[in-house]
Amino acid sequence: MLEQGLIKTHFLGKDGFIWWIGQVVDSTKWAGNLPSTPTKTTKDQKGFDFRYKVRIMGYHTAVPGDLSDDDLPWASVMLPVTAGTSGGARTAPKLRQGNFVYGFFLDGEDAQQPIIMGVIGYNQYTAIMKDVPDTPFTPFSGYTVKEPVPRNALGTTQEEAEAVPDNLSQASAGGGGGGSKTNNKEVMESPLSLVGRKNGANKEANDNESRPKIVPTISKCEPAPLVGIQREVKNMIAEVQRIQKTANDWETKVSTKIDNIEEAISKVKDNATKAIAGDVKRITTEIQKNAIKKVNDTLKETYHDVFPSQLGELKTKVESANDELSCLFRNIMKNLTGMVGGFLNQIMDRFITTPLCAIENFVGSLLGKIGGLIDSALGAVMGPIKGLLAGMGVASSALDDVMGFATDALSLLSCDEDPRCSEVKEWNPINGPEISATLDLFSIVSKAKQASRLVQNAVKDAANIGDTLSNLAKNADFSDALTDTCNVGPVFCGPPTVEFIGGGGSGAKGNVIVSALTTVLGVDIITPGGGYIGPPRLKFNDSCNKGKGATGRAVLGKVPGHWLPGVDGILGEGHVGVGGLVGTGLDETGNIVEGAGDDDIWVPESFGVTQIIMDNTGIDYLPAPDGSQGGDGRTWAESDETTIKRGDGTYDMPYKPGEVIPVSIGDEVTSPGGQVEVIIETGTITAKPPIDKLKGGPFPSLDTGDYPVVLEIEDINILDPGFGYDENDEVVIGNGAELKIKTDALGSVTGVNVINGGIGFTEDPDLYIERDTGYNAKLMPVFKVNRVDPDTAPSAAVVQVIDCVGKF
């Protein structure tokens, strides 16, 4: 028996144990207090750990009008000893609105500091009201009207709902006499975790899982596995820079255990070298098979031109030539790893991003060097045979056709793929299939032929083939692949861009509209394109991988015939769009069109992209550049960091504010905010502190503008029709919009009429159907984009759109 003194001591444990039973109130009264994601400082935490508002029986009034939920004291939670509260131990309570809980008062009879000790569970047969009832202490659902309810938790029988008081049972049954039967206003409640926490380890795991993996394809679908080469280079650069960040970035350090940075980097490079060398070996093997066949088919013709007594000597020379060719290719295969490794060493600190042009340069340079060596070696191998045939009085001009064969064979790489081949070349568990961009095989072949000339005369005779290859591998010089105008440096992180893939047409372009809450509201179509025979797929590209989850669908519509600029415009000289004509300003009927240039392209009336329907708005996308830099789907430098490009083209890892940096003449320093300074005197500088984030619009160095738009609802995308609704139910949305639903016999939403589209939406509207008996309908607005005059548009209704397509 607990003893209690007559005089209150205010000493915990000596004044008695006052316990209670209560009910967690509406989640809107306490959810904002819960801890969210980790912050850099404790001052940034908005909540005070897990606390809830609880209406306690006997202590608090039963009528919220007398004591509102807001005025209830905060109740803390007693966690088990298995939970812990620091040092990495963490357990989150899973309490929800409507839960009945019990506990005690830390301050005894004063009853102002309740502590929750446990929760009273509902059983399988307890009927729970969906909405918060007017009378407290009645079971109501942990789900709000806006949340989806598990369909397998719905009552499916007409059993008595004994847990519901008679007065509410009669009301829910329509007021007629008798007990209530369960209906679709009541659900079987099941526990569900309310909050989750992010941590460095989870982020690390997500980054690893979201890294695309190559989908193997047969050679006829991809004669040159260039997508795989690009992916390996991207992955290597990203992994090396992540390892390097562990030296000076504590967030990366705590989530990534690296004992020896140099050893870890070397291992990553070696793995990438082997993978890329394997891809190049696949191309070289095809050249080898064709080269040996070409040589032997050509030599067969000479057998008929010599005397029978000379065949033995000729046969010996041919066999020797085949042996030397086999030796040549074995040497090439053996030295491929060294050649690829030489290239990766040269780009290790030069590449921040890996654009397609960089891969085209590298692959063209490497294949050109290999092709040039093969052609040069073929000349050395064929020399003795040509000399023998000349001595026998037999013409050997046919053998001259073999020279230059290997370089010409590279043209086979640019053959069209089988139309049955899949467009999907990459896949990852997070984002699913990835549609890879198409590399310009014509450009690669052209670069290869240029590079082959540099080594055409490297092989003087068959005897020095091995030495030549070994020297080339040791001193692999790919400077010719790095001198192009291709930008391999960082880009400023900003809003995502939208890419239209497939569909049979071309030319569609648009700007992504990002809300202040970092979600994608839609796409402003800048150019509809033309020639589409089916809706193209959409891909939202975030160069720094800050945002995630946005998906949508393209809608096609008729677009009139129009000109697309040629040489200085979208498609480029010599490239013709679907159904397009390149010429002197003539349309499809042959009429002269004024203002059309010689290389402009006429696209006849066809289908183009006229609208984008969002299926998921995603989260965490940047509305405007925030000063951070990156590329290839990762952030390389944060918005407060200083970056340096050295005079030799290499990049240092980003510097934190206040770090002292040695600099030399010619170095380019980019400070927080995007200001670039070229160093004119050797010495040291101190990394500058961060500046205030820009309020809309990008840095001038990005050479893009922004323009205002006002959004109104044009249509509604029904993601889930739900059930149990009535056509007279009110659709809640705001901003003056008025919607009317259409339903079928089961109460599922079959359509939505937009009576008034409202105006001035700047974020995802809180769109739901107000209905006690309806469940799970999920509606997504489709916005009409109105470009407006920035001087006359109301600022509160405007969304600033970053023009990533070009100056608007």
Contact 434, 424 (CB under 8 A): yes
Poorest-pLDDT segment among 411-415, 465-469, 549-553: 411-415
Distance from C-alpha of 606 to C-alpha of 392, rounded to nearest angstrom = 67
Distance from C-alpha of 172 to C-alpha of 130, rounded to nearest angstrom = 11
Smallest Cα–Cα separation from 544: which of 414, 410, 636? 636
- Tell me the mean pLDDT in the region 411-421: 60
Q: Residue 373 has what pLDDT?
A: 74
Distance from C-alpha of 73 to C-alpha of 689, rounded to nearest angstrom = 42
pLDDT band at 621 (very low <50, low <70, confident <90, very high): very high
- Percent pLDDT > 90 in the chain is 18
Structure tokens at 199: 């941590």
Whether pLDDT at 588 is above 80: no
pLDDT band at 522 (very low <50, low <70, confident <90, very high): very high
Q: Residue 197 has what pLDDT?
A: 39
- 52-77 residue pLDDT tens: 999 999 899 887 778 888 899 999 99
Residue type, 64: P
Mean pLDDT of the chain: 75
Q: Residue 206 has what pLDDT?
A: 64
Query: Which is more confident, 402 or 788?
Result: 788
- 424-465 residue pLDDT tens: 777 776 666 666 666 666 677 777 777 776 666 555 555 556
The sign of the torsion formed by the CA atoms of 52, 53, 56, 62 equals negative
Q: Residue 782 has what pLDDT?
A: 94
Distance from C-alpha of 184 to C-alpha of 774, rounded to nearest angstrom = 8
- Tell me the mean pLDDT in the region 505-518: 90
The single residue listed with the structure tokens 């109105």 is 786
**Domains of the chain in sequence order:** 19-188 (2.40.50.260), 201-215+223-481 (no CATH), 629-693 (no CATH), 702-802 (2.40.10)
Indicate the angle between helix axes 311-347 and 465-474, nearest 10 degrees. 10
Q: Residue 684 has what pLDDT?
A: 93
- 188-223 residue pLDDT tens: 444 433 333 345 556 666 666 666 777 766 666 666
Q: Residue 783 has what pLDDT?
A: 94
pLDDT band at 334 (very low <50, low <70, confident <90, very high): confident
- Tell me the mean pLDDT in the region 732-759: 90
Q: Residue 308 has what pLDDT?
A: 75
Q: Which residues of 285-302 are buried (b: 16+ CB within 10 A; e: fewer)?
A: ebbbeebeebbeebbeeb
Query: Which is more confident, 214 or 508?
Result: 508
Q: Residue 705 has what pLDDT?
A: 72
Q: Residue 175 has what pLDDT?
A: 38
- 542-574 residue pLDDT tens: 888 888 889 999 999 988 876 665 544 333 333
- 284-316 residue pLDDT tens: 787 777 777 777 777 777 777 777 777 777 778
Query: Which is more confident, 103 or 574?
Result: 103
Whether pLDDT at 597 is above 60: no
* Burial of 258: CB neighbours in 10 Å, binned 0-12, 13-18, 19+: middle
Q: How far apart are the first and last CA of the chain?
A: 81
* Burial of 693: CB neighbours in 10 Å, binned 0-12, 13-18, 19+: exposed
Q: Residue 190 has what pLDDT?
A: 44
Query: Which is more confident, 38 or 197?
Result: 38
Structure tokens at 525: 């179509």
Poorest-pLDDT segment among 153-167, 276-290, 327-341: 153-167
- 221-255 residue pLDDT tens: 666 677 778 888 888 888 888 888 877 766 666 66
- Tell me the mean pLDDT in the region 407-424: 62
Q: Residue 754 has what pLDDT?
A: 92
0.85 exceeded by the pTM?
no
**Count of CB atoms within 10 A of residue 617's CB?**
23
- Percent pLDDT > 70 in the chain is 65
Residues with Cβ within 8 Å of 795's Cβ and at least 6 positions away in sequence, in order, are none
- Tell me the mean pLDDT in the region 692-709: 54
Poorest-pLDDT segment among 127-131, 390-394, 738-742, 786-790: 127-131
- Tell me the mean pLDDT in the region 775-794: 83
DSSP annotation of 127 reads: E
State which of 23-32, 110-119, 195-204 shows the largest mean pLDDT: 110-119
Q: Residue 102 has what pLDDT?
A: 95
Poorest-pLDDT segment among 84-98, 580-594, 722-736, 779-793: 580-594
Q: Which strand (E) or helix (H) includes residue 719?
A: strand 706-720
